Amino acid sequence: MEDMKKEIEQYVTGETLIGDLVREHPEAIGVLLQIGMHCIGCPSSAMESVEEAAYVHGYTPESVVAAINFQIAQAEAEKAFAAAAAETMAAEDASEAK
C-alpha cells in the first residue's frame, strides 16, 4: 500500500536564522510567538538559528521546524488557491462579456 502521507515542503531548516525567517516568511511569526519568542525583532534573535531558539524555549528543533514549514506551506496553498480563484473569475467575466 502506498504511503498516504504527503511530504511537507522544507522551506526552513534548523540552521535558518530567525532574522531571515521573519524577513522571507512573515507568515511563520505566529509559530515563533507560540513558542514564546516574543522578541523576534530584536537584534540578538535575528542572528539566532531556529534550532537555537527551539532549545532556548524548551522545544525540539525538529518540532519547531516542522511547525514553521507547515505554516508556510499552508500560507502558500492559500495564495495559490486565491490566485486560481481570481483567474477563474476573470475567465468567467470575459466569457460573459462576449
Q: Residue 2 domain-assigned? A: no
Is residue 93 within 8 A of residue 49, CB to CB? The reply is: no
Q: Residue 69 domain-assigned? A: yes
Q: Residue 78 domain-assigned? A: yes
CA distances from 6 to 9, 61, 87 (A): 9, 21, 26
Q: Residue 12 domain-assigned? A: no
The residue ranges of the chain whose pLDDT is under 50 are: 1-2, 4-5
Q: Residue 22 domain-assigned? A: yes
Residue 82 burial (CB count, 10 A): 10
CA–centroid distance for 41 within its chain? 17
How many folded domains does the chain comprise? Answer: 1
**Domain CATH number, residue 80:** 1.10.3910
Per-residue pLDDT at 4 = 42
Q: Residue 11 domain-assigned? A: no
Range of the domain at 75: 18-97
pTM recorded for the entire structure? 0.78
- For residue range 70-85, list pLDDT tens digits in order: 999 999 999 888 888 7
